Amino acid sequence: MFTGIITDIGQVLDLKKEGDLRARIGCAYDVDGIDIGASIACNGVCLTVIALGTEPQNWFDLQISAESVDLTNIGDWAVGTPLNLERALKLGDELGGHIVSGHVDGVADLIDMKDEGDSTRLTFRAPEALAKFIAPKGSVALNGTSLTVNEVNGCDFGINVIPHTQEVTIWGKAKVGDRINLEIDTVARYVARLQDWNT
């Protein structure tokens, strides 16, 4: 489990197709404190560490299944792509965002950006099947970042990104046309399931 509070900006160092996709991610984490088999969310996708190293910089390797590539924006990764990183939640950690599983539900499109004061308003278009789970003032995880929904209009929804968030995540590099990993709020998922069950 994760919180949607990004703790590092990593970078794709290498990609290899070896049956599954193998990715090497450069990071600022102390890799001596990461175990093989640990989970790290990369742009919101919970992935498993299979190797670690420190040369020429700290890095960890991931093995990524074809299904994960198909259901997320991992297929857009290239060497040099920056990534939001978050290590798994530990018992007793502060829950500063919301509960995020790292199981991405789909990909949303960034369709508009505009400055509002010091912040930036971003508008996304969600897949139709997921739009019903997104509500004003609710939470979503976008590329692994816990964000609050401002408004919803059909499949489109907007959020504001403050300057601090832009500085400590990859949101400062966002551009219209980006495909964004979307994880809907777990509570919304279960509320909708209960409603379906009772109808």
CATH code 3.90.1560.10 for 106-197: no
* The predicted structure's pLDDT at residue 153: 97
| Residue ranges per structural domain of the chain | 8-87, 106-197
Amino acid at 156: D
What mean pLDDT comes out for the span 22-44?
97
Whether residue 166 has pLDDT greater than 70: yes
Q: Just give the CATH number of 8-87.
A: 2.40.30.20
* The predicted structure's pLDDT at residue 189: 66
In three-state secondary structure terms, 168 is: helix
* The predicted structure's pLDDT at residue 193: 62
How far is the C-alpha of 89 from the C-alpha of 86, rounded, in Å? 9
- Count other Cβ atoms within 10 Å, centred on residue 26: 20
How far is the C-alpha of 190 from the C-alpha of 22, rounded, in Å? 33
How far is the C-alpha of 63 from the C-alpha of 197, rounded, in Å? 37
For residue range 65-124, what is the model confidence (pLDDT) as tens digits? 999 999 999 999 999 999 999 999 876 666 677 789 999 999 999 999 999 999 999 999
The band of 194, judged by pLDDT with boundaries at 50, 70 and 90, is low
Q: Report the chain's C-alpha Rg in angstroms.
A: 17
How far is the C-alpha of 13 from the C-alpha of 29, rounded, in Å? 15
What mean pLDDT comes out for the span 12-27?
96
Interacting residues of 15 by C-beta distance below 8 A, sequence separation 6+: 21, 22, 23, 24, 77, 78, 79
* The predicted structure's pLDDT at residue 198: 65
- Tell me whether the CATH fold assigned to 8-87 matches the one assigned to 106-197: yes
- Of all helices (H) and strands (E), which one includes residue 159? strand 156-161
| Average predicted confidence (pLDDT) for the chain | 93
In three-state secondary structure terms, 103 is: coil
* The predicted structure's pLDDT at residue 195: 66
* The predicted structure's pLDDT at residue 50: 97
* The predicted structure's pLDDT at residue 1: 85
How far is the C-alpha of 139 from the C-alpha of 21, rounded, in Å? 30
- Comparing CA positions, the residue from 42, 56, 53, 45 lying closest to residue 8 is 42
The band of 183, judged by pLDDT with boundaries at 50, 70 and 90, is very high
The band of 28, judged by pLDDT with boundaries at 50, 70 and 90, is very high
For residue range 69-83, what is the model confidence (pLDDT) as tens digits? 999 999 999 999 999
Whether residue 30 has pLDDT greater than 90: yes
For residue 10, give both structure tokens: 């990593």
Whether residue 197 has pLDDT greater than 70: no
